[in-house]
């Protein structure tokens, strides 16, 4: 029957008969026909839930969007398998921040789909709510980011969040030996991470050591609710590690992406030919460079409120081995070659380069970025790469300034403490309004390193508020 309770012509096509608002009658039984009905294909809650850490249901929807659904949160002191329970409604928002009243309680969230006459889909937390850490040291940083930036300013965050694939290694067990096992659990750290990221009120976020699971099941949903759109780039052949960019959709539109696999680019791209020829005489060095899985993530963004100004945002994580400065120099040369190519195609293009560079301010890599030139002499420590002493010259035409704070340290473990994470800006294009101070080592578990029960990573986020130089707007 159609919507007017008239029988559908038996000669009509199925596509015309089986449409929404029609009814199917089987004897005395009638069934509403719903085309592409909304459906919850998956719904879960984080395994670890803490007070003062906002949680979001991990949900996969078919034929509808989150904003079309109605969510309701409840708490109870009994698990669903432990006898009679009484659920108390605590919120009707998509997200929920547990309070002290929820400690030792289980949480339940229900999702009602937009169409009528559908039952609610619900899930109960696996574990009760636990007391979250005070994070009083991080509160010192949150003080600088309590308010959002104006339309003319851009708050940028770069953060190596410590990938879960690295925490379980023998090396990690040694350098993180002072951190309780439960605080190394990615489910615990992700709650702290989300609280930290949302507290920064950022406009642009660049993350390193992000697995596909963490991006897709945690960060993307939580930050989307905060007004961000996310992009993810895997390391070469490794879904357990990658890069992520998030941009505030109220301020930016994504124009295009220009990601790069560094080893493939050095081998195949014509604009990298001079670099490949520079290292070609050194077989072991070439082998090591082309064996690395490091990548570059690049997003070309348009600023909505500033005359549609374009910005190139780049994010990377260079090779980590301490005695391999020459490899990082080759990688950063490949990166600047790529960014220069993009800049040539768009005149007067501001460039922001974020990441974990595994390079101190005194390193050749840092000097190369900020001076535009570096002459590097191989050292005895690099003899495994170069049998004989060798000298290399690297240069680029972008020239960057460090926009983030470099005092104190950005990476702190039991065997290393120093600044290796930066936000760089193409010289002449940015004014630094506020570089959020880093924390002194003496205040952040000086003898035992990071992470801790309060700090979810062995790195600290670097943050700065910047504006465009007027004559480039």
Residue 289 dihedral angles phi and psi, to the nearest 5°: -65, -45
Q: Which residue do the tokens 């439960």 mark?
A: 182
- CA of 457: how far to CAs of 32, 46, 250, in Å? 52, 19, 29
Contacts 24+ apart (CB under 8 A), 445-448: 445/178, 445/412, 448/178, 448/179, 448/414
Co-location of 120 and 146 in the same domain: no
* 437 compared with 3, residue with greater pLDDT: 437
pLDDT at 269 over 70: yes
Percent of the chain predicted with pLDDT > 70: 95
pLDDT in tens, 210-243: 999 999 988 998 999 899 999 999 999 888 999 9
* 378 compared with 357, residue with greater pLDDT: 357
pLDDT in tens, 298-310: 999 999 988 889 9
Cα-Cα end-to-end distance for the chain: 61
Q: How far apart are CA 261 and CA 296, in angstroms?
A: 7
Co-location of 248 and 309 in the same domain: yes
Q: How far apart are CA 161 and CA 158, in angstroms?
A: 9
- Give pLDDT, residue 168: 84
pLDDT at 472 over 60: no
Residue 235 dihedral angles phi and psi, to the nearest 5°: -65, 160
pLDDT at 283 over 80: yes
Q: Tell me the average pLDDT across 38-46.
A: 93
Total domains in the fold of the chain = 3
Residue 159 CA to its chain's centroid (Å): 8
**Mean pLDDT score of the chain:** 91
* 140 compared with 307, residue with greater pLDDT: 140
β-pair type (29-32, 39-44): unpaired
Q: Which of 2-16, 130-144, 434-448 has the lowest mean pLDDT?
A: 2-16
Q: Which of 29-38, 200-209, 430-439 has the lowest mean pLDDT?
A: 29-38
Torsion of CA 409, 414, 415, 419, to 10 degrees: -10
pLDDT in tens, 420-448: 999 999 999 999 999 999 988 777 776 68
pLDDT at 83 over 70: no
101 backbone φψ class: left, alpha, beta (φ>0; ψ -120 to 50): alpha
- CA of 365: how far to CAs of 19, 326, 357, 418, 440, in Å? 63, 9, 8, 15, 24
* 344 compared with 25, residue with greater pLDDT: 344
Q: Which residue intervals of 210-324 are DSSP H helices?
A: 212-214, 220-225, 262-268, 273-279, 283-291
Co-location of 195 and 307 in the same domain: yes
Quick one: tokens of 183?
Answer: 């605080």
203 close to 155: Cβ distance less than 8 angstroms: yes
- Give pLDDT, residue 32: 74
- Give pLDDT, residue 78: 63
CATH of the domain at 53: 2.60.40.2700
Confidence of residue 28 (pLDDT cuts 50, 70, 90): confident
- Give pLDDT, residue 21: 65
- Give pLDDT, residue 3: 67
- Give pLDDT, residue 384: 83
- Give pLDDT, residue 331: 98
Co-location of 63 and 26 in the same domain: no
One DSSP character per residue, 118-175 reads: -PPEEEE-SS-BBPPP--HHHHHHHGGGSSPPPTTEEEEEEEE---HHHHTSHHHHHH
Co-location of 15 and 50 in the same domain: no
Confidence of residue 116 (pLDDT cuts 50, 70, 90): low
Q: Whole domain around residue 449: which residue ranges?
A: 136-472
- Give pLDDT, residue 82: 57
- Give pLDDT, residue 473: 44
The candidate with the shortest Cα–Cα distance to 354, out of 406, 423, 253, 288, is 423
- Give pLDDT, residue 37: 80
* 380 compared with 146, residue with greater pLDDT: 146
Q: Tell me the average pLDDT across 303-318.
A: 93
Co-location of 319 and 460 in the same domain: yes
CATH of the domain at 467: 3.60.10.10
54 close to 35: Cβ distance less than 8 angstroms: no
Residue 224 CA to its chain's centroid (Å): 12
Co-location of 352 and 453 in the same domain: yes
Co-location of 26 and 44 in the same domain: no
The candidate with the shortest Cα–Cα distance to 287, out of 336, 324, 237, 316, is 324
DSSP-based three-state secondary structure for 455: coil
Residue 426 placed within a domain: yes
Residue 258 placed within a domain: yes
Helices 325-345 + 283-291 axis angle, to 10: 60
Co-location of 47 and 21 in the same domain: no
Q: Which of 71-85, 147-161, 251-265, 304-318 has the lowest mean pLDDT?
A: 71-85
Residue 428 placed within a domain: yes
Residue 462 CA to its chain's centroid (Å): 14
Q: Tell me the average pLDDT across 148-162.
A: 97
Quick one: tokens of 389?
Answer: 């002493």
The candidate with the shortest Cα–Cα distance to 22, out of 3, 4, 48, 44, is 3
Co-location of 142 and 68 in the same domain: no
pLDDT at 33 over 60: yes
């Amino acid at each position: 029957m159609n919507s007017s309770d008239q029988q559908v012509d038996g000669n009509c096509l199925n596509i015309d008969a089986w449409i929404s608002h029609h009814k199917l009658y089987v004897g005395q039984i009638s069934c509403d026909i719903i085309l592409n009905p909304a459906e919850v294909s998956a719904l879960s809650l984080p395994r670890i839930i803490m007070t003062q850490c906002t949680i979001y249901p991990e949900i996969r929807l078919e034929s509808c969007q989150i904003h079309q659904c109605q969510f309701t949160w409840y708490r109870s002191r009994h698990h669903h398998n432990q006898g009679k329970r009484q659920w108390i409604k605590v919120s009707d928002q998509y997200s929920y921040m547990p309070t002290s009243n929820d400690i030792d309680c289980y949480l339940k969230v229900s999702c009602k789909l937009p169409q009528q006459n559908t039952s609610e889909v619900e899930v109960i937390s696996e574990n009760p709510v636990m007391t979250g850490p005070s994070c009083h040291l991080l509160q010192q940083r949150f003080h600088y980011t309590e308010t959002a930036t104006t339309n003319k300013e851009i708050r940028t965050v770069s953060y190596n969040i410590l990938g879960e694939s690295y925490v379980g290694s023998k090396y990690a067990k040694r350098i993180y030996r002072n951190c309780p096992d439960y605080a190394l659990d990615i489910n615990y750290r992700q709650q702290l991470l989300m609280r930290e990221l949302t507290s920064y009120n950022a406009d642009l976020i660049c993350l390193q050591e992000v697995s596909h699971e963490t991006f897709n099941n945690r960060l993307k949903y939580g930050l989307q609710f905060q007004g961000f759109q996310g992009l993810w780039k895997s390391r070469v052949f490794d879904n357990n590690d990658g890069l992520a960019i998030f941009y505030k959709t109220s301020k930016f539109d994504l124009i295009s992406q220009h990601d790069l696999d560094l080893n493939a680019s050095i081998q195949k791209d014509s604009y990298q030919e001079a670099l490949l020829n520079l290292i070609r005489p050194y077989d072991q060095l070439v082998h090591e460079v082309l064996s690395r899985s490091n990548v570059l993530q690049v997003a070309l963004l348009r600023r909505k409120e500033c005359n549609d100004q374009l910005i190139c945002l780049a994010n990377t994580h260079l090779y980590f081995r301490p005695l391999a400065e020459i490899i990082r120099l080759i990688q950063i040369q490949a990166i600047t070659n790529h960014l220069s190519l993009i800049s040539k195609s768009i005149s007067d293009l501001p460039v922001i380069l974020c990441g974990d560079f595994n390079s101190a301010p005194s390193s050749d890599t840092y000097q190369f970025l900020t001076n535009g030139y570096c002459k590097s002499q191989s050292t005895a420590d690099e003899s495994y790469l170069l049998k004989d002493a060798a000298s290399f010259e690297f240069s680029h035409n972008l020239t960057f300034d460090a926009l983030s704070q470099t005092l104190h340290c950005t990476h702190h473990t039991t065997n290393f403490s120093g600044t290796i994470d930066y936000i760089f800006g193409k010289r002449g294009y940015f004014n630094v309004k506020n570089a959020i101070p880093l924390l002194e080592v003496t205040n952040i578990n000086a003898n035992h390193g990071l992470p801790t029960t309060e700090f979810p990573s062995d790195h600290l986020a670097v943050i700065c508020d910047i504006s465009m130089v007027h004559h480039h707007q």
